[in-house]
Structure 1
């Protein structure tokens, strides 16, 4: 099959010729190896026991391989990181190594962070533009210029189509599977993560079903700032003697190391007097399809508004999962524009911005996500509040919707159907 380019390919085109080594991080099955293979001469597969044994015995063998070299699942022999870092110290020529890993190694497994020698890129599941469900017409990169560019375009996707895309998954190998096979693969992905990947990270899970219950509760907290104690309570509703809070933190940490949790951090503008801001992250799994599967959601149950999210943010489960899908698309596009992503919520919850895309100079594009085909004035309330707080530091204000048309409202807020959002 022909390779379908991903947004991260543009970043690699721009960076790899000038950087000696780049690590591509992300969950299993996201497409990291396939993408890396497009630009290397050789591959060292450390998920092969024979190869792993030889390299573990003498990590310096990496030096003898033809470059550019892909080191696949490098975290299985973390000593290779330090070898690559030393090679980069000796020779700063770009394009030598791509390191692909589906888990972060334990703290202390490498002697050096690699800062200044090994760059890091995050790879996430496929966005709607990468899935090819529509022809995108609104570029996040242009919105980040602050020129308030014209916004136009039309999408044929409707709410039921977005619900279908939530369930269909952004893992490339799962695209196009029949519904039963897709459910089977998602279930297997989650079970294998708990049974095999978590123990490989050094966490002994005596009761795998307890971790799956915690993951299910975390999925119900998608796109909320629910506390971890509330997630634990939701995972163990009938237990008087609940697990220690440290258990919940251990689950969170190891699943984050596996890139399965992808929370959005709270944003606080530096050098600006915005006060009373919350610090809690917004919860997201790597792929909204994993959250939907954990919760047993179907197309019918999603569209019918079933499911009760936990956490302070109100709404239906479809609304929360749609926000998660939108956040995935925005984060991938933002990384391609060298921008960061956060969210904003005041401590008492009276103001909230779903996604804040931050340029390196601190100026931002503020984005609200609405499960709605028609946008009303009240939907822009928080955007107008933030505009007054930030003044010229607000580059643009956007409402991402499920509607058919992209346009600018009279108040200059851009309305963009999610399917039309491009890098």
Structure 2
């Protein structure tokens, strides 16, 4: 399978020549191992008992000095984190260690956090710009700098293509499957999480069907700030019973450890010139394809009356995934803004390391109206020195700049 370059490669290019140890975390199937293997001289997969036994013997990292060692699925042997930390303290050269993990470790009791020794990077499923299907012409880095130059660019992507991209998944190993095989793969992925991955974290799943229905309720709340209590109200087991609040809290904790829940936090400005900001997160699963599958929606359903109510939220989820992948490579964070009253909402705020902001609204429509950009313009009025760019990301086919300065950019053109 051909390797598709990832935005994380850019981060690794910047960091590995200077840091002794870098950890890559993210859900199973996002490509952590494939990306790390390209930079490693030796690989130890710690989901193999023979390799764990090797580490528990008289193993000496000094024998690998000058080589790049990949410790894959390190959460199966959390002690290795301390071993790496000590090697860094003892002067391991830059680029010595890569660690990849698909879950937070089972038990970190007695294990050092690694602060100052091991830098952790999040790897998400592929954003649209990483899938080899688009040719970006407008760049988030320029928008953060406030110097994007948009002539009229046109994309070949249409609305139907975006719906296909939502259900196609950003997991690299699922690329190219026909629809039936893809559905089988996604179902198998979810069942592995329920039947194996969560129990491996030490949690008993007494009612697998109730957990799956809770995940479906979470998927139905994609791109919203729906209260967890309402998600619980939508969840019942096959026998009609409802899991307890404590049980669903345990679900959330373990799904978060597996990196499958990826909520967007509410914006917390460093210098809070705002009052009544709501801090509730926007719900997102790691991949919008998982949400679509849980809801039984394919691309044609999203374009029909049966699934059109989810087309907007799932498109926003695809945009959010793509923007987050880009933003991380630029040392930027992503949040959303919502006033407690709901009077002001902005879908995404990208905040650069220097405090500059790109405010983003997400719309399926190709041509946003004045009403669609009013909250963006309000934010610019509040923070004229910090807001570098105002953007509406659409499922249209033309990029342009409105007379009020708001950029309108089809997602397929953003890089």
Are the counterparts in 1 of residues 219 and 294 from structure 2 also a CA contact under 8 Å?
A: yes
Superposed displacement of residue 3, structure 1: 2.4
Are the counterparts in 2 of residues 60 and 83 from structure 1 also a CA contact under 8 Å?
A: no
Partner of 2:268: helix, strand, or coil? coil
Partner of 1:235: helix, strand, or coil? coil
Measured on the aligned residues, the alpha-carbon RMSD in Å equals: 1.8
Superposed displacement of residue 327, structure 1: 0.2
Are the counterparts in 2 of residues 79 and 109 from structure 1 also a CA contact under 8 Å?
A: no
Do the aligned partners of residues 326 and 61 (structure 1) sit closer, same or farther apart at CA in structure 2, a change above 3 Å counting? same
Superposed displacement of residue 149, structure 1: 3.4
What pairs up with 1:358-373 in 2 under 5 angstroms? 358-373=351-366
Distance 1:393 1:92 in 2: 40
What pairs up with 1:1-400 in 2 under 5 angstroms? 1-55=1-55, 57-58=56-57, 60-65=59-64, 67-91=67-91, 93-106=93-106, 108-109=108-109, 111-150=111-150, 152-236=152-236, 242-307=242-307, 316-400=309-393
Are the counterparts in 2 of residues 222 and 285 from structure 1 also a CA contact under 8 Å?
A: yes
Superposed displacement of residue 335, structure 1: 0.5
Are the counterparts in 2 of residues 19 and 92 from structure 1 also a CA contact under 8 Å?
A: no
Partner of 1:368: helix, strand, or coil? strand
Partner of 1:81: helix, strand, or coil? helix
Higher alpha-carbon deviation: 230-239 or 261-270:
230-239
**Runs of 5+ consecutive residues of structure 1 not aligned to the other structure:** 308-314
Higher alpha-carbon deviation: 380-389 or 185-194:
380-389
Aligned residue pairs total: 414
Distance 1:188 1:61 in 2: 39
TM-score (norm 2): 0.96
Superposed displacement of residue 59, structure 1: 7.9
Do the aligned partners of residues 304 and 237 (structure 1) sit closer, same or farther apart at CA in structure 2, a change above 3 Å counting? farther
Are the counterparts in 2 of residues 405 and 416 from structure 1 also a CA contact under 8 Å?
A: yes
Do the aligned partners of residues 151 and 22 (structure 1) sit closer, same or farther apart at CA in structure 2, a change above 3 Å counting? farther
Are the counterparts in 2 of residues 46 and 71 from structure 1 also a CA contact under 8 Å?
A: yes
Do the aligned partners of residues 242 and 2 (structure 1) sit closer, same or farther apart at CA in structure 2, a change above 3 Å counting? closer
Superposed displacement of residue 355, structure 1: 0.6
Are the counterparts in 2 of residues 277 and 347 from structure 1 also a CA contact under 8 Å?
A: yes
Superposed displacement of residue 300, structure 1: 1.9
Partner of 2:154: helix, strand, or coil? coil
Distance 1:240 1:110 in 2: 42
Distance 2:74 2:62 in 1: 14
Residue-by-residue CA offset, 1:209-257 (whole Å, 9 max, x unaligned):
1111111111111000011111111113998864322211111110010
Distance 1:59 1:370 in 2: 58
User: What is residue 402 of structure 1 aligned with on the other side?
Assistant: 395
Are the counterparts in 2 of residues 126 and 171 from structure 1 also a CA contact under 8 Å?
A: yes
Residue-by-residue CA offset, 1:348-400 (whole Å, 9 max, x unaligned):
21111111001123221100000112221111011011112212111110000
Do the aligned partners of residues 131 and 322 (structure 1) sit closer, same or farther apart at CA in structure 2, a change above 3 Å counting? same
Do the aligned partners of residues 396 and 184 (structure 1) sit closer, same or farther apart at CA in structure 2, a change above 3 Å counting? same
Do the aligned partners of residues 213 and 161 (structure 1) sit closer, same or farther apart at CA in structure 2, a change above 3 Å counting? same
Superposed displacement of residue 60, structure 1: 4.5
Partner of 2:199: helix, strand, or coil? helix
Do the aligned partners of residues 153 and 109 (structure 1) sit closer, same or farther apart at CA in structure 2, a change above 3 Å counting? farther
Partner of 1:236: helix, strand, or coil? coil
Distance 1:65 1:385 in 2: 56
Are the counterparts in 1 of residues 210 and 242 from structure 2 also a CA contact under 8 Å?
A: no
Are the counterparts in 2 of residues 70 and 97 from structure 1 also a CA contact under 8 Å?
A: yes
